[in-house]
Structure 1
């Protein structure tokens, strides 16, 4: 279940979590935005945690399940990022950058889930 793609996902999801934490600090300090940013903090950091959990899965089904939950958290993060942008908390440059990163992670997770299911 450990592939090179998996390590890429682990690194990208960890980097995304750091970026989300820094964005949360920025939004609370400069925009006084606490509600949407807190939701993003929760879902954005959950992605990497679930990816890590999946590495210690008890079975292929458990592996797929953990990544499926990570997929949901990643998609939720994209939702909060879109809301932050639409409510003028993020500039279009900030939005595009973090949204592209989240979308890339989402595609990797989906790809791993599909590949793992097809190998079953």
Structure 2
């Protein structure tokens, strides 16, 4: 995996579920904004325009659907939204890998940084979804 470097941004004390949800809402929104801002200044060419469109759609979908999952009315609704979050997060990682591995001229270190964040988010969301399925 290109972005496989786990990061613990929560310190040594484990937050409550509610605190963790709030942190993840902020984190997914911040990651989407960081990606949008990066892509805003990343240059223009046909290939980058396609990737930019796909990345903005998938990254903002991660944040929006996680937010919706936090407001779910049932466990089934939460699980369905989390499935979308995992899918969109994985798609974001995919497009960042394409951007990183292609010859498109962008700041590759920034792509790696953003990619690590989305890979970490993907691990968190996939684990939460898997844990919910086993209960």
1:92-111 map, 5 Å: 92-111=108-127
Q: Number of residue pairs matched?
A: 116
Shift of residue 47, structure 1, vs aligned partner: 0.2
1:54-93 map, 5 Å: 54-89=69-104, 90-93=106-109
1:1-120 map, 5 Å: 3-27=18-42, 30-32=43-45, 33-89=48-104, 90-118=106-134, 120=135
Give unpaired runs (5+ residues) of structure 1: none
Asked whether the 8 Å contact 1:24–1:38 carries over to 2, the reply is no
Give unpaired runs (5+ residues) of structure 2: 1-16
Deviates most, 37-46 or 89-98 = 89-98
Asked whether the 8 Å contact 1:9–1:109 carries over to 2, the reply is no
Question: Could you tell me how far apart the structure 1 residues matched to 2:130 and 2:20 are?
Answer: 13
Asked whether the 8 Å contact 2:61–2:88 carries over to 1, the reply is yes
Asked whether the 8 Å contact 1:51–1:67 carries over to 2, the reply is yes
Deviates most, 88-97 or 99-108 = 88-97
Higher RCO (C-alpha 8 Å, min separation 6): 2
Cα RMSD over matched residues? 1.6
Asked whether the 8 Å contact 2:51–2:99 carries over to 1, the reply is yes
Which structure features the higher share of helix residues?
1
